[in-house]
Amino acid sequence: MNLEELKDQTILITGSAKRIAKSIVLELSKYKPRFILHYRNSYEDVKELLEEIKKYNSESYYIKADFSIKEERESFLEKISQESIDIVINSASIFPKMDHWKNFEYELFIKIFDVNLFTPASIIKTIFKNYKKGLVINFLDASLKYHYTDHFIYRLSKFSLEKLTYMLAKELAPYVRVNAISPGAILPPAQLNEQDKIEEKINIYEFYEKSKQKIPLNIPGNPEYIVQAIKFIIENDFITGVNIPVDGGEFI
């Protein structure tokens, strides 16, 4: 699809208010699609983002939902079922600090799987179960390749999302292309406070200096590299069922 064609399309993007997803919205908004911006806690950020992009398409709007709360998730799915959506970008995710394989317990397991797997799967089902034409982009993690056991449940949820990407790419072809992007060290991990709100506490300069040492290309990550991968996937009609690592070669 030519990017110019986005002006007739509706894009649903989850976790859109900040960080990587916000960069995607700001860049794609120039092509004038209608956006449905999902957010959970970042109300001020999503309001500001919507204000910014409304100059390109005045029909864009936002929806709030915590995907770990059944009622909010179901109400969100009900709202989007009323919409005609062409492109889904599943970016919302949780990455808890305390997620070691020795300590895992039921509540956290279910919470992470609800947000990182069940919700993206349910969004795809809601929008594309009738094989409407479209595109899905899921977010994985480049470090999955090394099978680390830290962030145990998070990794398991992303592994499952990877397999879901391939399964649905087959199932939904030729109508829907389903792909994934696996970021490496793009931004420091989001730090959560007691209200589960993101606080940008990590010094970004230190993060980049440290991660540069591990990155063969020896340059820091940047959300712009993810935006480029998103545009590539949108534009290339011959790509489905792929997972594109954007990690500077860190996980070769």
Ligand X SMILES: NC(=O)c1ccc[n+]([C@@H]2O[C@H](COP(=O)([O-])OP(=O)(O)OC[C@H]3O[C@@H](n4cnc5c(N)ncnc54)[C@H](OP(=O)(O)O)[C@@H]3O)[C@@H](O)[C@H]2O)c1
Minimum CB–partner distance for residue 23 and ligand X (Å): 8
Rounded to 10 deg, the angle between the 152-172 and 106-113 helix axes is 30
94 near ligand X, judged by CB under 6 A = yes
151 near ligand X, judged by CB under 6 A = no
What span, in angstroms and rounded, lies between the C-alpha atoms of 66 and 181? 23
Q: Which stretch binds ligand X (CB under 6 A): 63-71, 98-106, 129-137, 162-170?
A: 63-71
230 Cβ neighbours under 8 A, 6+ residues apart: 24, 27, 28, 89, 137, 181
Tokens 């977010």 belong to residue: 139
Angle at CA of residue 199, ends 196 and 202, nearest 5°: 130
CB closer to ligand X out of 173 and 228: 228
Tokens 């986005």 belong to residue: 6
Given a contact cutoff of 8 angstroms between Cβ atoms, the answer to whether 61 and 52 are in contact is no
The one among 21, 144, 153, 215 contacting ligand X by CB under 6 A: 21
CB closer to ligand X out of 56 and 208: 208
Q: Supply φ then ψ for residue 107, to 5 degrees.
A: -60, -50
CB closer to ligand X out of 9 and 116: 116
76 near ligand X, judged by CB under 6 A = no
Q: Which stretch binds ligand X (CB under 6 A): 15-23, 49-57, 165-173, 228-236?
A: 15-23
Minimum CB–partner distance for residue 169 and ligand X (Å): 18
Q: Which stretch binds ligand X (CB under 6 A): 19-27, 28-36, 129-137, 145-153?
A: 19-27
The one among 31, 35, 39, 225 contacting ligand X by CB under 6 A: 39
The one among 6, 12, 13, 20 contacting ligand X by CB under 6 A: 20
18 near ligand X, judged by CB under 6 A = yes
The one among 112, 153, 168, 185 contacting ligand X by CB under 6 A: 185
Site track for ligand X across 105-134, x = CB under 6 A: ----------x-------------------
What span, in angstroms and rounded, lies between the C-alpha atoms of 209 and 218? 9
Given a contact cutoff of 8 angstroms between Cβ atoms, the answer to whether 59 and 108 are in contact is no
Q: How many CA atoms lie within 13 A of 101 on its CB side?
A: 7
**Burial class (CB within 10 angstroms; exposed 0-12, middle 13-18, buried 19+) of 44:** exposed
198 near ligand X, judged by CB under 6 A = yes
Residues at the site binding ligand X, with contacts judged by CB under 6 A: 15, 17-21, 39-42, 66-68, 91-95, 115, 139, 141, 183, 185-187, 190, 198
